[in-house]
Structure formats: structure tokens, C-alpha cells
Amino acid sequence: MATTTAQTFKNFIGGEWVDAVSGETFESTSPATGETIGVFPRSGAEDVDRAVDVAKAAFADWRLVPAPKRGEILFALARLLEQEKPALTELMTHEMGKVKAEAGGDVQEAIDITYYMAGEGRRLFGHTTPSELRDKWNMSVRQPIGVVGAITPWNFPVAIPSWKLIPALVCGNTVVLKPATDTPALAERFVELLAEAGIPSGVVNIVHGGGGTVGERLVRHPDVRVITLTGSRETGVEVLKAAADTLTHVHLELGGKNAIIVLDDADLELAVDGILWSAFGTSGQRCTAASRVIVQKGAYAELQSRLVARVEKLRLGPGWEDDTDIGPVINRTALEKIHSYTEIGKDEGAKLLTGGEVAGDGELGKGFFYRPTVFADVDPQMRIAQEEIFGPTTALIPVGDLDEAIRVSNGIKYGLSSSIFTRDVNAAFRAMRDLEAGITYVNAGTIGAEVHLPFGGTKDTGNGHREAGQAALDVFTEWKSIYVDYSGRLQRAQIDTEEHPAP
């Protein structure tokens, strides 16, 4: 598609579709073919400032809209997302590159979180609790915080914006969204649907542009009270530092280096299914991707041969074709980074079993395709076993027993997802207790989160918060404790204590 025919998109600020003040633009292109998806405003600080101003003004009323009414708008959004699922899925295969089933899953995750959080409009439970004094009423309630700045990556272009915006909105906050520059059309479509569902002007705004300009201004803006970021560890550290001067709340969901453990007694065919899905789904570009497979020595040889046979059957192609197993990676920088890790793995002495090269033959040459790659005999300290590659590369690490497997699984800086394949219930429970990760799967791969459970990681994967489930409400609300004294006299807590009668 020629650039001149590409659709032009705008920022959404205060209920209006507007260009960047500078008039500058950038293009979103398909990683599968290079076709132009659209032209977007390359915004700057002045665009962010306008969006934050209107979001701040809109907060004054939105926080007072009864939460069940806010929920009703979100229920309407969920229904619109259901109607639009086929179109969003198709767009995602083009703009982000996911294969159809996974693109549909991304949209479904947004539908699920929207229904779940819309229902929160009739809950948002606080606590009532006894008082230590007579004739006194105690309770705690959740209160919205203000303007939320949401900064999102490209790998879940509809799901991740929804994980941030929907809980923020049901709690009564207003939002400025800065999506990734690789997937702006999908984020824009999501915001259009919010507007169509009836979200009032100024409550949701989108400002397109780069992390160093739009993102950084959002983080440093004194009227932004919460920053919720999903991205790399490096970006997380920068954002945390930039938010320090204004003491802005920061919620970080960062990288992973997730491992599947396969014990000798595992169902090996099931384990191979789990590894294929977790290592190569979304071309390995999931924060929960299994980039390490820790295998007990008795199963090691058999697992290797079964895995390689299955990997070599995977078909690369554009996500929109029905028989594609693996789509492209997001851009040239990613392709080059992934290949550089193949070179690093070889230099470190790991054994390349399959893959390890750019797939540039025929039509694939128009996009960014990388052959699914498996290394064997990987030492846990090698860089390919320590650093996030974010591509279709996995490392097989042999171990002697469960203790060693858990030590190796934990021996990284990240702590997002983990998994164990075993038929031994004692081993499974020890893994559930001892794996240092926010998520553990038993007899399933490292991916497959459901929206009503907390999602996030320990150690360098984040800063202690969680997305989704009830835990997300803690990011987007602050607790207020309320004491009502109806005794008609001044009662002093901790001082006016009652004498207890002797037993």
C-alpha cells in the first residue's frame, strides 16, 4: 500500500480528534510486508499538556458519576468490542503481526477484563469494621486518584491498554493513553470504541508519539497522579526515576526470562505442546514467553528430539493466513537483536539445534521473520539464559533434580512466570511454593493468564503491583479510612480505654 493512500489518524483530546500541534507525523507499518497501516501525529509536550489539562478538568465530574453508571458505559464497550472482534483481529494481524488465533485472543482478553471490571462498578468493596470505642462507626473506602498516564507496549496492542484503562475508569479516574508507536492504529480503534460506548469528553484521551517525548512528558507532568507502564526493565527504571520529583505513583509491569521445568516423570508430549506454545507463540514476543526450558537429565535426550521435530514443522507467514503458525517479529531492530543473541549463544558454546537465522526467502523477505530457534546444553549463566531476547528463541538447560531445577529457574533477575511439568504432586507443591515468580503453572506452559487473577511479577519484573484481578484496583484507587463518632462526646482512641470487668 502506498503511503499516500494510507489513512490519517489523530490524537483524541477533550472529545475531539486533533493533529499534533507541530503538525508532524509518523507511519505505522506492517511487520509482515512493510505496507503502511496509517499516518499518526508525532506529538510533543504541548499535546500532552493539553490532554492532561482536559483530563484533569473531566476528573472533577467523572469521580462523582456513580460507579455502577461508569460500569454501564463499560458494559456497552464490552458489547462493542465483541461486535468489532473480527475487525480488530484482522487489523492486529496486519499492524502487530500476530497470527489470527492469538490476535483474537488479545481482543478477547480486552472483552473479558471489560466485563469483569464493569461489574466492579457495583462492588468496589471497602471494609466496615468495629471500633474500639462505643458509639463509633469505622469504614474504609476506595477513592479515585486523578489523572492516570497509561504507557503501553506493542505486543498486546488491545489487551494491555484495556488492562490499564478499564480498571482506571471504573474506579473514577481519567486517562491519557500513550500507546507504542509500532501499534497506534489498534490503540486508536480501542479509544474510538470507548467514545462510541459513551465515555464523556475528556475522560479518555490518546496522544500518539515516542517514549522520550510524549511518554517522558506524561511521566513528569505534575498533574498526572498515576503512571502505569508496561515495557522493558530499562524503561521502567527511567520512568521510576523521572516520576520521583513529583512523587507520582508508578505501576510497572516489566520484562521476564521465564522457564518451564520438565521433570523425568512428566508427560513429555504434553510438555512439548506447552514449550511450543510458550516459546514460539507470538513469535516469542510475550513477557511470559518461555525462553528457558530446564530439563531433568532422564528426559533430556527424548525431549530434545521430540521438540526439534515439532519446531521444524512450524510454518512462518503473515498472521492473516490461516495456515501460519509463526508471524513476524515487530521490526528490524527486534530482528537484529534476536539474531545477535543467536551469535552470542554460539560464541558462548551453546549447541544450536535448529533455527538461528533470518527467514528471508520469497514473500517472507518483505517482512521481519526469524526461524524458531532452539539451543541445547545451555549453561544457566550464559547470556542467552539470563537476558530477555523477546523473540522465538529458547534455551534447553539440563539439570539433575528438582532442587537444581528450582535454583536455576530462580537464578535470574526477573520473576514473572514459571512452570513445571510433573506427575509428582509433592514436586508440584514444592515448585508452587519455591519458584520466585508472580505466576506458576503446573502441567501447562508459562502463558495463559486469566483476567480475574492478579498478573505481574516479582524481583525486576515490577515494583510490587499487579495488573488485573482485584489487585488492579489497588493501583487505581487510594484508601480512605472514615471514622464517625455518634456518642456526642469527645472519645480519644488509645486513651479513653474501657476497663474490662475481672473474669
Examine residue 235 and tell whether it contacts ligand NAD (CB under 6 A).
yes
Instruction: Determine the 3-state secondary structure of 76 from DSSP.
Output: helix
Residue of 84, 109, 238, 253 with catalytic role: 253
Phi, psi (rounded to 5 degrees) for 20: -65, 145
Residue of 120, 287, 388, 467 with catalytic role: 287
Binding residues for ligand NAD restricted to 279-298, rule: CB under 6 A: 287
Is position 171 annotated as part of the catalytic site?
no
Which C-beta is closer to ligand NAD: that of 180 or that of 353?
Answer: 180
Contact pick of 23, 212, 362, 488 for ligand NAD (by CB under 6 A): 212
Helix axes 67-95, 100-120, angle to 10 degrees: 170
Examine residue 157 and tell whether it contacts ligand NAD (CB under 6 A).
no
Which C-beta is closer to ligand NAD: that of 130 or that of 212?
Answer: 212
Radius of gyration of the chain from its Cα atoms, rounded to whole angstroms:
25
Which C-beta is closer to ligand NAD: that of 123 or that of 465?
Answer: 465
Contact pick of 215, 318, 391, 469 for ligand NAD (by CB under 6 A): 215
Residue 153 CA to residue 181 CA, distance in Å, equals 8
Q: Which amino acid is at 259?
A: A
Label each residue of 97-137 as H, E or C. Answer: CCCHHHHHHHHHHHHHHHHHHHHHCCCCCCEEECCCCCCEE
Which C-beta is closer to ligand NAD: that of 241 or that of 480?
Answer: 241
- Compute the 3-state secondary structure of the chain and give helix, strand, coil in percent, each to the nearest 5: 40, 20, 40
Residue 172 CA to residue 62 CA, distance in Å, equals 6
The stretch near ligand NAD (CB under 6 A) out of 41-49, 225-233, 485-493, 495-503 is 225-233
All three cell numbers of 16: 475531539
Which C-beta is closer to ligand NAD: that of 178 or that of 189?
Answer: 178
- Asked if 304 contacts 394 with a C-beta cutoff of 8 angstroms, the reply is no
Which C-beta is closer to ligand NAD: that of 248 or that of 296?
Answer: 248
Examine residue 11 and tell whether it contacts ligand NAD (CB under 6 A).
no
Examine residue 114 and tell whether it contacts ligand NAD (CB under 6 A).
no
Examine residue 300 and tell whether it contacts ligand NAD (CB under 6 A).
no
Label each residue of 155-206 as H, E or C. Answer: CCCCHHHHHHHHHHHHCCCEEEEECCCCCHHHHHHHHHHHHHHCCCCCCEEE
Residue 162 CA to residue 152 CA, distance in Å, equals 10
Examine residue 102 and tell whether it contacts ligand NAD (CB under 6 A).
no
Examine residue 238 and tell whether it contacts ligand NAD (CB under 6 A).
yes
- What DSSP designation does 362 have? G
Residue 147 Cβ vs ligand NAD, minimum distance, rounded to whole Å = 15
Binding residues for ligand NAD restricted to 444-503, rule: CB under 6 A: 461
- Asked if 317 contacts 324 with a C-beta cutoff of 8 angstroms, the reply is yes
Contact pick of 39, 58, 145, 254 for ligand NAD (by CB under 6 A): 254
Is position 253 annotated as part of the catalytic site?
yes
Residue 197 Cβ vs ligand NAD, minimum distance, rounded to whole Å = 24
Which residues of this protein are in contact with ligand NAD, per CB under 6 A? 151-156, 178, 180, 210-212, 215-216, 219, 229-232, 235, 238-239, 253-256, 287, 388, 390, 416, 461
Catalytic residues: 253, 287
